Amino acid sequence: MLTNKSLCQSVAFALLTVCLACNSNKPNPSAAATTTPAEPATAIQPASGQSSSPQPASAQQPTQKQQPKSISYAKNPERFVKQTPSDTPFNITDPKTAQEHFNVAVNFDHENQLEKAIAEYEKALELKPDWALAHFRMAQDYQKQGRTDEAVAQWRLATKYDPQFYAAYDLLSAAYARQGNLKKAIEAYSPMLNYPPARMPAHYQLGIWYAQLGEAPQAREHLEAYLELALNSKSVEVQSDRYQKATKELQKLKQ
């Protein structure tokens, strides 16, 4: 049987054991700190010495690059290099072929040395008599010198060797018209009617010349043909001065 002293010691020992067990179940403050979840990344604190107040929008946005101003010759002519055109030196000194004589003649034309040009065209035509372009250019030089008869002869040869040389017909008939010989001008220009691309201007010009000669039926025939071709072409021809003139002339002929 336990004595009172032994019983008191046993109770004290039991109480001490209970206290120790309770203390061992309390959480460790340092362990709690390590298990706290990290703050979100957006909650970054400002560095020391910096203000946490919001910055103006201009300070927050990056500076935009300024686009370079466009450069044009009208506004900045000094920015463009001026280049002087350089002509290829003409180096035919002893022409032999028709083409070489022709090239020398053209060079003399550029220098406005008409007599020398005509002489070279003649040499080219001696080697190639049917060269329509050489006849045409020589006629132009004759015309510049006021030698209309010689020019007419060369334009006739140009149309003979190239029946579709429209410019030669134009200048040939115009030369006759300047001389007041409209019948010859009509005769020289009429072959243009054989070629579809030239029919519209040919009908117009022939109609005007026939009207000037007082030959109303022929004038009406050609002017009506011209107006019909102009309308069918569906082009800007119907807005031209030529179209307006032909319309008025035809109205006068019908009165």
- The enclosing domain of 136 has a CATH number of 1.25.40.10
Residue 83, pLDDT score: 56
In a domain, 199, yes or no: no
User: Which domain does 122 fall in, by range?
Assistant: 94-165
Residue 93, pLDDT score: 85
pLDDT digits (tens, 9 = 90+) for 150-181: 999 999 999 999 999 999 999 999 999 999 99
What confidence tier does 79 reach under pLDDT thresholds 50, 70, 90? low
Mean pLDDT of 180-190: 97
In a domain, 7, yes or no: no
Q: How high does pLDDT run on average in the chain?
A: 80
Query: Out of 87-96, 119-128, 190-199, which region has the weakest mean confidence (pLDDT)?
Result: 87-96
pLDDT digits (tens, 9 = 90+) for 31-58: 444 344 444 444 444 444 444 444 544 4
Per DSSP, the residues of the chain read: ---HHHHHHHHHHHHHHHHHHHHHTSPPHHHHHHTSPPPPGGGPPPPTTS--SPPPHHHHSPPPPPPPPP--TTT-GGGS------PPPP---S--SHHHHHHHHHHHHHTT-HHHHHHHHHHHHHH-TT-HHHHHHHHHHHHHTT-HHHHHHHHHHHHHH-TT-HHHHHHHHHHHHHTT-HHHHHHHHGGGGGSHHHHHHHHHHHHHHHHHTT-HHHHHHHHHHHHHHHHHHTSGGGGSHHHHHHHHHHHHHH-
Mean pLDDT of 71-78: 59
The CA distance from 204 to 227, in Å, is 8
Query: What is the number of domains present in the chain?
Result: 1
In a domain, 187, yes or no: no
In a domain, 103, yes or no: yes
Smallest Cα–Cα separation from 213: which of 190, 182, 255, 243?
182
The CA distance from 103 to 121, in Å, is 9
In a domain, 195, yes or no: no
In a domain, 159, yes or no: yes
Contact 227, 247 (CB under 8 A): yes
In a domain, 147, yes or no: yes
Take residue 252 and report the two structure tokens written for it. 């006068």
In a domain, 139, yes or no: yes
